[in-house]
């Protein structure tokens, strides 16, 4: 038969919870050492991806414009070929009616040439403008890539320096969570919820100067007495943080009064 785990008293649960709080606060401190670098790296990676997409779209647009230019050049060649043919045919006309007809056809093809050339010029100007945009985007891309490399180097150095300690604290936190969860899953879930919503990440605080160590609102004497008895879990009626006796946190009463 499996050995039954020892039931934790309320005091032991609160002590384990406070130890968990300290451990997670240490993980938070390690993360803080990294500062804004992780966010800066992510922002740069997103911006680089955006610039690469933009350059790709620019190249696609240039490809489409080059296709237009190619089609219009073919159109000019065809029109010019017809113009040459009609001009030769004019030398062999039998009457003015045929001559006038060929003249109109020549004029029509000349208009086609002009229209095609106009489209070529417009597409060429657009390409020039896009090429300039590509140069600007590429310069920005190169600059961001260089900055990203530097930022990643800084971040990798910090992570390397703190990784071992962070892993140690996370492993400690995991064991404490399992310990508390086995004894009181609802207490652990409540702590996580409180900690998530707390501005400073503190879900458990001890009484300081007769007040909550989280929001600093005064705690009635009767409630303080209940906290010292350690018979049940008590939360601050103002901020919802779990309140503990300073002694559980290893703090003397005189220190708690002077902090």
The alpha-helical segments, DSSP class H, found in the chain are: 10-33, 37-90, 96-183, 185-197, 221-229, 253-258
Q: What is the DSSP letter of 82?
A: H
φ, ψ (nearest 5 deg) of residue 149: -60, -40
Question: CA 98 to CA 90: how far, in whole Å?
Answer: 8
The pLDDT tens digits for 173-225 are 999 999 999 989 999 999 999 998 888 889 999 999 899 999 999 999 999 99
Domains of the chain (ranges, CATH numbers): 32-180 (1.10.287.1490), 184-258 (no CATH)
For the chain, the C-alpha Rg in angstroms (whole number) is: 39
Instruction: State residue 1's pLDDT score.
Output: 37
The residues with which 242 forms a beta bridge, in sequence order, are: 204, 235
Given a cut of 90, whether residue 2 has pLDDT beyond it is no
Predicted pLDDT at 160: 86
pLDDT of residue 121: 97
Confidence at 139, pLDDT banded by 50, 70, 90: very high
Question: Do residues 219 and 236 touch, judged by C-beta distance below 8 A?
Answer: yes
Percent of residues, the chain, with pLDDT higher than 90 = 75
Of all residues in the chain, the percent with pLDDT exceeding 70 is 95
| Spatial distance between the Cα atoms of 44 and 145, rounded to a whole number of angstroms | 8
**What angle is formed at CA 114 by the lines to CA 88 and CA 102, rounded to 5 degrees?**
25
Distance between CA atoms of 133 and 141, rounded to whole angstroms? Answer: 12
Verdict on whether the full-model pTM lies above 0.95: no
């Amino acid at each position: 038969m499996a050995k039954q785990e020892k039931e934790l008293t309320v005091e032991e649960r609160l002590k384990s919870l406070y130890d968990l709080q300290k451990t997670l606060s240490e993980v938070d401190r390690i993360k803080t050492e990294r500062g804004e670098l992780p966010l800066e790296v992510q922002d740069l990676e997103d911006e680089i991806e955006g610039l690469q997409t933009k350059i790709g779209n620019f190249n696609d647009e240039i490809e489409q414009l080059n296709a237009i230019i190619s089609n219009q050049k073919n159109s000019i060649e065809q029109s010019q070929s017809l113009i040459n043919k009609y001009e030769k045919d004019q030398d062999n006309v039998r009457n003015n009616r045929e001559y006038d007809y060929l003249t109109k056809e020549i004029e029509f093809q000349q208009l086609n040439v002009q229209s095609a050339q106009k489209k070529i010029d417009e597409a060429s100007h657009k390409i020039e403008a896009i090429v300039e945009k590509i140069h600007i985007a590429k310069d920005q891309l190169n600059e961001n890539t260089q900055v990203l490399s530097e930022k990643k180097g800084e971040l990798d150095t910090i992570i390397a320096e703190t990784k071992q300690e962070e892993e140690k604290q996370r492993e400690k936190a995991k064991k404490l969570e399992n310990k508390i969860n086995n004894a009181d899953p609802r207490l652990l879930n409540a702590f996580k919820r409180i900690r998530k919503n707390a501005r400073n990440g503190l879900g458990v605080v001890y009484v300081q100067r007769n007040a909550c160590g989280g929001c600093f609102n005064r705690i009635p004497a009767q409630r303080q007495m209940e906290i010292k008895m350690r018979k049940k879990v008590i939360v601050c009626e103002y901020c919802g943080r779990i309140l503990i006796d300073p002694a559980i946190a290893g703090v003397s009463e005189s220190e708690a009064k002077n902090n």
